[in-house]
Chain A
Amino acid sequence: MSANRLRHTALVIPLLAWALSTQLGQITPYEDCQQDVPWTALASCFLLVVSIVGLAGSRATLTGLTRTERFLVNASFLIALAFVFALSLQGAATMLLDPCQR
């Protein structure tokens, strides 16, 4: 995989992780409640870690970029940061709320 493709893949990870976490948030609380296993918290924390790794990976190789490419990578990095923040808030929610609560 080229460095360019690696950078873009890494930056898409937090967005996909957030989308997946948001969907799982609609599904796993029912399982959490029935099985008494914190699947939602585990999934959320796992996706948060994956996102941070993706974010870090995107900063690994920044040499040899044109001005426009650098702009795109920097914008994507900032966008990804917003999703890492949203994921961290979702992760915090799993620590605070009872999955059986309606």
Chain B
Amino acid sequence: MTPKDNREIRDTAFDAAELERRLAATWTTPPGLLGALSTVDHKIIGRRYITTAFVFLALGGLLSLLMRLQLAQPEARFIGPDRYNQIFTTHGTNMMFLFAVPVMQAMAIYLVPLMVGTRNIAFPRLNAFSYWMYLAGGLLLWIAFVLDTGPDVGWFAYVPLAGPQYAAGKRADIWAQMITFTEVSALAVAVEIVVTVFKQRAPGMSLDRIPLFVWSMLVTSFLVILAMPAIMIASTSLILDRLVGTHFFNPAEGGDALLWQHLFWFFGHPEVYIIFLPAVGMVSTIVATFTRRPVFGYLGMVMALIATGVLAFGLWVHHMFVAGLPRLGESFFTASSMAIAVPAGLQIFCWLATMWAGKPIFKTPLLFVIGFIVIFVIGGLTGVMVASVPFDTQVHDTYFVVAHFHYVLVGGAVFPLLGAIYYWFPKLTGRMLNETTGRWVFGLIFTGFNLTFFPMHILGLRGMPRRIYTYQPEMPWSGLNMFISLSAIVLAAGFLLFFIDAIRSARAGATASANPWGATTLEWATPSPPPSYNFAKLPLVDSLEPIHDDAFLPAAIGLRVDRRELLITSVVEAAPEARESSSGDSIWPLWAALATTVALIWSIFSPWAVVWGSIPVAIALIGWFWPKDVPEDDS
């Protein structure tokens, strides 16, 4: 043994109690405000992300209730047109950029390291930075809205409406810069997840033994990495057009207004799958647990996830069917839009087959999954309808499309997410949500959702355009609008009950055991909630269901306990390759995020902000990466 080895304190040197004490000393975030602001624990950051995203969901929901109040009757004067424009823009932007994508990534931040059997996410300081950036972007949007300077150009901010000619003031700039905040955050998380899944899996977790939720987040992360640069380029170009007089989107000076639509939807359509694919993973996990059998067709499910992810990049023009492109070119996107129904259908049939062959236990998470299947199938069918150019031409920008995308996004993502919250709440908090209340929540949300959004199909077929702030009494829309607004109260009551149950259960719910559902994935092999170090000894994986029969898990040993150390494994077979240190807590990610926030907001007003604002960012990054005289080498 070398002198260096003598200094290293390994996990083999201690009994279980002493090992856990020493690991806790090494990995636990210090108490107090500084500890809270400096933490890089993926579980703490994941919980923060989830909580913040649900706060934004509640705020976005309040905006939708305001819209329904306004539209309940014809010629209502409750909200003026300018405020209404801000409300629907902030609602859409908030739900897409501040709730749907972040909450899915947040679930991954919390769960993926646990599910692959590692002690922290890759690049933990980047993870902390991503949360602060996300929070700053959200605050930017909502503070602007409260100050009556909220964006009013729709959540896809088409030019020339959002350009300098038609959108005076800073409202469109706030939208564009909020995009930068949330995309920086999302890209950071995506990189972390890809590296965590590829290089930090527990020994033996080869690619054919990865849980389907982890597969789904891996594919989603690649979608984020490939799609989101397009929208960052687009929003930056828009800011340049508005601030320094470039002409990227001005046809009069050689620019192209359609370029915006291409760039936006090259991101925007994969965005739908960035939201939906994690839900596929959640549904697969819940179905497997509550039918007491593995998901039917693991190979087919993996194929469907990857095929959907790639095909998602060939659908964007189906949002532009009325833009005047050649019909033949459009038809290619119709073809891909039809083709993507194949992997989506395959997933549905795999879940149905699993339930058919298993013994379903109808707990709240499974109820949400069944609700998801019903609603998502309806949304998928209307999706095939609007993928057809002649039909889409008729219903474009009507309430039919509003109904369709709410069926896809709420049905395809929010229902599985709520099921996932009920499922993983014990792991997140150490307490159970109330089962009886959960059934009420499901009943109210399922009923309220369908009563609210299904009639919108009919409104659209009757010609009601989206985004209008009022309508004349002679139009055949008032009865249905009143019905929809009343139904929205049922839907809101369901969400209110959910929030009450979640807050109450987090404080005083029944205590959860380590594995209350009898599940088979690794996150359930550690206490609820998990200790700061996740696993006292890293598990060894020998099958797709590593904790089957509650058998004692074999463990990988030999890691140091006197520093934060991770096991690095090979990409395909997850064979151990090295031990590597994991970054400790640091306040610098917060400073870096604050400096970046100042630079980005300042750059809405002056291009010089890019020059002068980058100095504090550089200082923060120097502090972040300053050598600590602690070897970070692999061992």
What residues of chain A have their CB less than 8 Å away from a CB belonging to chain B? 15, 18-19, 21-22, 25-26, 29-30, 32-33, 40, 66-69, 71-72, 74-75, 78-79, 82-83, 85-86, 89-90, 92-94, 96-102
Contacts and interface: CB of A to CB of B under 8 A. Distances in A.
Closest 5 CB pairs of A and B: A25-B332, A89-B335, A86-B339, A93-B331, A71-B208
B570 to A, nearest CB: 10
Contacts of B81: none
Interface string B311-342: 10110010000001111110111111011001
Nearest to B314: A22
Interface in B563-588: 572-573
B329 A26 contact: yes
A101 B332 contact: no
A90 B326 contact: no
- How would you classify the secondary structure of chain B's contact residues: helix, strand, loop or mixed? helix
A21 B313 CA distance: 13
B306 interface: yes
A86 B325 contact: no
Interface size class of B (residues with CB under 8 A): 20 to 34
Given A82-B343, A101-B327, A68 B208 contact: yes
B206 A93 contact: no
Nearest to A40: B328
A83 B314 CA distance: 11
Interface in B436-467: none
Interface of B: 206-208, 299-300, 302-303, 306-307, 310-311, 313-314, 317, 324-329, 331-336, 338-339, 342-343, 572-573
Given A33-B326, A75-B302, 10 more contacts: A19-B314, A22-B332, A25-B329, A25-B333, A78-B300, A85-B342, A86-B336, A92-B335, A101-B327, A102-B325
B327 A97 contact: yes
A18 B302 contact: no
Given A85-B339, A93-B334, A68 B573 contact: yes
A15 B306 CA distance: 11
A11 B334 CA distance: 24
- How would you classify the secondary structure of chain A's contact residues: helix, strand, loop or mixed? helix
Contacts of A29: 326, 328-329
Contacts of B332: 21-22, 25-26, 90, 93
23 contacts: A21-B332, A22-B332, A22-B333, A25-B329, A26-B325, A32-B328, A68-B572, A71-B299, A72-B208, A75-B306, A78-B299, A82-B311, A82-B343, A83-B310, A83-B311, A85-B342, A86-B311, A89-B335, A90-B331, A96-B331, A97-B331, A99-B326, A102-B326
A18 B314 contact: yes
A89 B335 CA distance: 5
